[in-house]
A and B are shown apart, each in its own frame.
Chain A
Amino acid sequence: MRPLADIESAIEAAGANPDPQAGAAELLALSEEVLEHWVTAKGDVPTNDEREGFRLLALHRQGAKGDPSFNACRETCREVAYHFNLIKLEPDATEITDRLQMMMMVSSHLYLFISGKMQVAQLGDFCCSSRPIRTGSEAETVKIKEA
C-alpha cells in the first residue's frame, strides 16, 4: 500500500490514461487501495472477498462495520463500480474518454472523503449516516429528571 497522499495524483494520472480500459482498471484498484487504508487504520486486515463481483464493495462493507458514518461513501463506491462496468462493457462507446474522466472524479471523491475521515474521524457522523441512530443505546445521554 502506497501512502494515502500519493494516491491522489495516481488517480489523476489514471484518469488521463489513453487506454480507457486500463485506466478504469487502475481507478478501481486505486479506489480499493483507498479503502484498504481506512480498514487498516481501524486495525483490520483488508478483505479479499467480493460483493456483487467487486472487492471494492466488500471493502466498503468491511469499513462500515461498527462505523455507520462510513456509509456516506456507499453510493460513491457503487458509482465507481458502475463506471467501471460502463467502460468495460461498452469499449467502443464514443463517450468512453468522458466516462473515464467521470470515473476519475468519483474515485477522487472517495479519496477526499476517506482522507478527510482519516483526519477527522467524525466526518459524516452526525449528518447522513447518523451514528446516534444506529448506536443510540450506547450513546451518552443526558439524565432526564422525573417530571
Chain B
Amino acid sequence: MTTKEKYKKVAYYPGCALEGSGHSYNRSTKAVGKALGLDLVEVKNWNCCGAMEVKNVDPKLQTYLSSRVMSVAANEMDMDVVMAPCNGCYHNLKKAEYDLANDAESVEVVGKLSKKAGHKTYESGQVETIHALDWIKEAIGEDGLRERVKNSLSGIKIANYYGCMYTRPRHIFPEKDQGPGSESTSKPHFMDDLLAAAGAENVDFPLKTACCGGAHTLSDSDTSTKLVLNILKTAKMAGADVIATECPTCHSGLEMHQIRAEKTLGEKVDIKILYFTQLLGMALGLKPRKVGVHENISDSMRFLKEKGLA
C-alpha cells in the first residue's frame, strides 16, 4: 500500500485543545478531510497526551499516556496511522514512540501501567504518528489540491508560523530532513507548499519556528506578549496579510497576545491569524462558518469578504 493510500483513512486524535480553545482547528480539520474525501476515525476513548504539565512532573508517565492513545488505535481499532493536528499531541506521541524504541526503562514503565490499566501494551512501530500537514500533503498532495480549489487564495499574502513543537527536538522526527520531498526541521515548508497550491503567496518569514512563549502564556504573560508582538510585527514587515498556524497553543497565544499587546503596550498590529485548515477549507469552497472562523478570537470576516472568501 502506498503512503497516499495509507493516509486516506487515519485514526484521528484531536487532543484536548481541539475540544476547547482550538475548536475551530478541530472543525476545520474535519471539514477539510470531508471535502477532500479523506476518512478520519476518532480514536476511541482517547486520553490526554501528557501535554506539558505531566511531562513536567514525570516524563515517563507522559510516555505512557501517549502510548495508550497509540495502543487503542493499533490494538482496538486496527489502525496503523494516527493523525494529530495539535503540535503538542503530535510532539508527545512522537516522543513516546522514540522513548519506546530507545529506552528500556520507558518500555518497562509503559508495560506496567498498561497492565494496571487493563489494556494491551503499545509496542514501538505499531502505528505511525503524523501531523495534519503530513496527512494532506501525502494523501492529496499539491497537485491534487490545485485540482480541487474552488476559491483561490490568490492575492493573500501569508506568513506560515509552525511554532516549536512541530520540529523540535530533531531526533524524535526521523522522517524529517531526509532530502527532497521531506519536511525540514530548520526551515519547514509543508504548510507553505499546501497554501501555495491553494493559490496563496507565501512571504519569506524568518520566525517560522521561533518561540512564542506559549508554555508561559499565563505564568509570564509579559514575556509572551513581547515575543508574540515581535512575531506579528515581523510577519507584517514581511508583507503578510495573514499568519497561518498549525498549532492550537501558538494560535491562541498569537490571538490573545495580539489583543494584550494593544492593551498593555499600545501596539496594534493589523494582521489576521487563521489556521491553515481554515484557509484550505475556504479555498476548497467551504463557507467561513463551516471552518469555524466565527470561533476564532480575532475577527477576520471583513478581510475574508474583501478577498472573496466569505
Contact = CB atoms under 8 A, between A and B. Distances in A.
Interface stretch (A26-34, A43-51, A109-117): A109-117
Interface string A123-137: 111111110111011
A120 interface: yes
A146 interface: yes
A137 B104 CA distance: 11
B61 A128 contact: no
B186 A129 contact: no
Contacts of B223: 112, 116, 119-120, 123
A78 B59 contact: no
B44 interface: no
A7 B99 CA distance: 41
Contacts of B231: 109
Interface in B41-63: 52, 55-62
Given A68-B169, A116-B220, A124 B237 contact: no
B172 interface: yes
B230 A108 contact: yes
A79 B237 contact: no
A89 interface: no
Nearest to B52: A126
B60 A136 contact: yes
B61 A78 contact: no
Interface residues of B, number: 52
B109 to A, nearest CB: 6
Main secondary structure of the interface of B (DSSP, over half): helix
Contacts of A129: 164, 168-169
Contacts of B233: 105
B115 interface: yes
Given A105-B237, A109-B231, A134-B169, A144 B113 contact: yes
Contacts of B249: 127
A142 B98 CA distance: 20
Given A71-B168, A132-B59, A141-B59, A109 B220 contact: no
User: Which of B57, B116, B211 gathers most chain A CB within 10 Å?
Assistant: B211
Interface residues of A, number: 44
B168 A130 contact: yes
A21 interface: no
Contact of A72 (B57, B88, B164, B220): B164
A102 interface: yes
A98 B206 CA distance: 13
A105 B88 CA distance: 27
Nearest to B236: A105
Contacts of A60: none
A6 B157 CA distance: 35
B238 interface: yes
Interface in A33-87: 68, 71-73, 75-76, 78-79, 82-83
A116 B112 contact: no
Contact of B210 (A109, A127, A141): A109
B310 interface: no
Contacts of A144: 60, 109, 112-113
A133 B91 CA distance: 11
A93 interface: no
A21 B59 CA distance: 47
B202 interface: no
Interface string B220-245: 10010011001101100110000000
23 contacts: A73-B210, A76-B210, A78-B186, A102-B234, A105-B234, A106-B206, A108-B230, A109-B210, A116-B213, A116-B216, A120-B223, A123-B216, A124-B164, A126-B215, A127-B249, A128-B165, A130-B55, A130-B91, A133-B95, A141-B61, A142-B61, A144-B60, A147-B116
Given A76-B210, A129-B168, 6 more contacts: A75-B186, A122-B215, A123-B211, A126-B52, A132-B55, A147-B113
Interface of A: 68, 71-73, 75-76, 78-79, 82-83, 98, 101-102, 105-106, 108-109, 112-113, 116, 119-120, 122-130, 132-134, 136-137, 139-142, 144-147
